[in-house]
Amino acid sequence: MALVINCSEDYNLATAKITAWLKRRGHTVKKIPNKGAIAHNPKESANGYDAVFLSALYTWDLPTLVEEALRALPCSKVEIGGPAASIMPDYVFEQTGIKPVIGLDNRFDSEPGRYLSTYTSRGCIRNCEFCSVPAIEGELRELAGFVPASYVLDANILACSREHIESVCEKFSCLSMVDFLHGLDARLVKSWQVELLSKKLKIPVWRFTFDSLRHEAQLKHTIDLLREYGIKPQEKIIIYCLCGFDDTPADANERARLIMSLGAHPYAMRFQPLDALVKDQYFSPGWNAKTMREFWDFCNIPTLAWLYQQIRPKR
């Protein structure tokens, strides 16, 4: 009997694929879906199983992963993977004696099935210092045989070929909603992409990123382009605004106000160090708990209220 544990709160596509992979091979599987379920029933979470598979999305979930691994080790074979372990493999090994899978696990990554989220490509053409994608996924590559799902997790789908994007649109056109959850690269947007995506897919919210004022002109061009296709910023566009990395509160506020002036909705994305074992504890020079909270409230309280109206299930 196998146990699959998602050591994070958010939906973990890897643990869903591992569960499907094990069941397809005839294993009896129990899945603990999230960190909250672990906390609710900690004593039983990793006892009495032949094999235990552990995955964490975020590095601040690694202490939970380590605790579960140590609980399981006396009587079970333990395997560890996931984005967090790929970023901090030495920490995992030092704490558990287990070498985690680094990067994508070929046994599970292409496992067919119906999932809440999907990837049509892996990797990115960028190499941003604040981003974990280069360490986890590597260079951009298009995937064959991807399965449509409402939430697309590609790091940079607009960097893919026209043929690939056209294929994505054809396969996803049957869905009632397609959300590019990790955002689109405003520096790469072209007219044919907007035309194709807007005609073929039901996109409730167009998400972009605005990490530096250096990209102001490109962001304005992208929003103007979307307007040409009838996509109104105040109704459809949310823009992730990185804060706390190589900036100041004044810089972040300038970007947020620029987003608002363009009619779109800013969403503050707080920088977390790639090796953070505790969430929301790091402050870069010029930031503190007060300025971070003020910026989060300024951007996210109104944006989240608007976003809920956009993506909530229709009755």
pLDDT digits (tens, 9 = 90+) for 240-293: 999 999 999 999 999 999 999 999 999 999 999 999 999 999 999 999 999 999
The pLDDT value recorded for residue 229 is: 96
Return d(Cα 64, Cα 175) in angstroms, integer: 36
Give the residue ranges of DSSP H helices in 8-57: 13-24, 35-40
Which residues, including other chains, have CB under 8 Å from residue 92's CB and lie 6 or more apart? 62, 65, 66, 80, 85, 98, 99, 100
User: How far is 140 from 160, CA to CA, in rounded Å?
Assistant: 8
CB of 202 within 8 A of CB of 230?
A: no
Amino acid at 99: K
Q: How many CA atoms lie within 13 A of 44 on its CB side?
A: 6
The predicted structure's pLDDT at residue 311: 67
H or E segment to which residue 168 belongs: helix 162-172
Burial label for 228, CB within 10 Å (0-12, 13-18, 19+), is exposed
- Yes or no: say if 33 and 40 are a contact pair by the CB < 8 Å rule: no
Report the pLDDT value the prediction gives residue 289, as an integer from 0 to 100: 97
When pLDDT is cut at 50, 70 and 90, the band that residue 20 belongs to is very high
pLDDT for 204-221, tens place per residue? 999 999 999 999 999 999
Q: Which two tokens stand for residue 293?
A: 């909270």
| pLDDT of res. 44 | 66
For residue 240, the cross-strand partners are 209, 267
Count CB-CB contacts under 10 A for residue 125.
13
Question: Rounded distance, CA 105 to CA 4, Å?
Answer: 15
Q: Which residues pair with 237 in a beta bridge?
A: 206
Which two tokens mark 296?
A: 């989060």
Average pLDDT of the residues in 82-110: 94
Mean pLDDT in residue range 10-16:
96
Q: Quick one: fold of 117-311? A: TIM Barrel (3.20.20)
Q: Would the pLDDT of 313 be above 60? A: no
In this prediction, residue 312 carries a pLDDT of 65
CA 263 remoteness from chain centre: 25
Q: For the segment 30-87, what is each residue's pLDDT rounded down to a tens digit?
A: 999 899 888 777 766 666 799 999 999 999 999 999 999 999 998 899 999 999 999 9
Residue 315's pLDDT band (cuts 50, 70, 90)? very low
pLDDT at residue number 45: 66
Contact yes or no for 194/229 (Cβ under 8 A): yes
* Percent share of the chain, pLDDT over 70: 97
